[in-house]
Amino acid sequence: MLYVLSIFHAIFALCSAEESDLPLTVTCKRNSDDYSACLKQAIEEAWPRFVADIRLPEFDILLLDPFFHKYYKFVMNSDNMHGELILSNNIIIGLSKLRISNVKTHFLDEVFRLETDINIPTISSKGSVKINGNFNLFRIANEGYYSLILEDVSGTTNFTGHVINDTWIVEHFYFVPSIGKFKLYYDDVDKKKAITVVNFVNTNWLRFYPVIRSSLFDRIELLLIDFANKFFSKVPFSEIFP
């Protein structure tokens, strides 16, 4: 979701600008009374056209759905969770189904904030996993293949930053998603241990998700801000939000 959120919000540049490569019929004016509703309509029109043929080689993205992610290492360090999790050769399906239910913008004293309420009905992911750590007294040190299904992923995104020299510089990002349903499948050479890991995670995910969620989004905030600014730096603010 690190990539899809930035891509999603970057489309506002295409939706709002007077000149766009997309065949849009909606152009939104920031001072209009229906600006938020207009942005919502514009993004709903642009999103399916955009994700149908996304090609962003400068960000190593050639296709959004299915989306391929080569490698990710996550270090866990909290009161009851320590260790590292490595995911590789990940194939993620469902990001193109992202939907927006509400849009809000705020612009005061050269500080601009863009908020969106989003939902993804189902996200599935599969790939290789290696984990080495502890959850309380439970020790996990395994590697194998995983499959994960998340349902009803939703939340409010918040991009905030100053407008300097007609460029929106994103300085803060906030997104803490809620998950309606979590289901993990896991397999390795030790079938008995694999079953133990799967049962443990599926039974206790609500206990450790808040810990992972807080730590994860604190760490990726700077990466996501950098990713977003690479988009927004290409079009003046007055064209993105006229």
CB 112 within 8 A of CB 95: no
- The model's confidence at residue 183, banded by pLDDT at 50, 70 and 90, is very high
Average pLDDT over residues 24-34: 70
Question: Residue 20 pLDDT > 50, yes or no?
Answer: no
157-178 pLDDT per residue, tens: 888 999 999 998 999 888 878 9
2-240 CATH pick, 1.10.3720.10, 3.30.420.10, 3.40.50.11740, 3.15.10.30: 3.15.10.30
Q: How far is CA 183 from the centre of its chain?
A: 19
Return left, alpha or beta for 165; rule: phi > 0 is left, psi -120 to 50 is alpha, else beta.
left
**What is the reported pLDDT for 116?**
87
Q: Write out the two tokens for 10.
A: 């970057």
89-137 pLDDT per residue, tens: 989 898 888 888 888 888 889 999 988 898 999 999 999 998 888 776 6
Q: In whole numbers, what is the pLDDT of the chain averaged over residues? A: 78
pLDDT: which is higher, 7 or 143:
143
Residue recorded with tokens 């989003």: 118
Residue recorded with tokens 């030790």: 190
Q: What percent of the chain has pLDDT over 70?
A: 76
The residue type of 59 is F
**What is the reported pLDDT for 159?**
86
Question: Residue 197 pLDDT > 80, yes or no?
Answer: no
CB 72 within 8 A of CB 136: no
Average pLDDT over residues 216-238: 74
Q: Write out the two tokens for 239.
A: 């064209």
d(CA 107, CA 160): 10
Average pLDDT over residues 33-61: 70
Question: Residue 22 pLDDT > 50, yes or no?
Answer: no
DSSP 97: G
Contacting residues for 59 by C-beta, under 8 A, at least 6 apart: 3, 227, 230
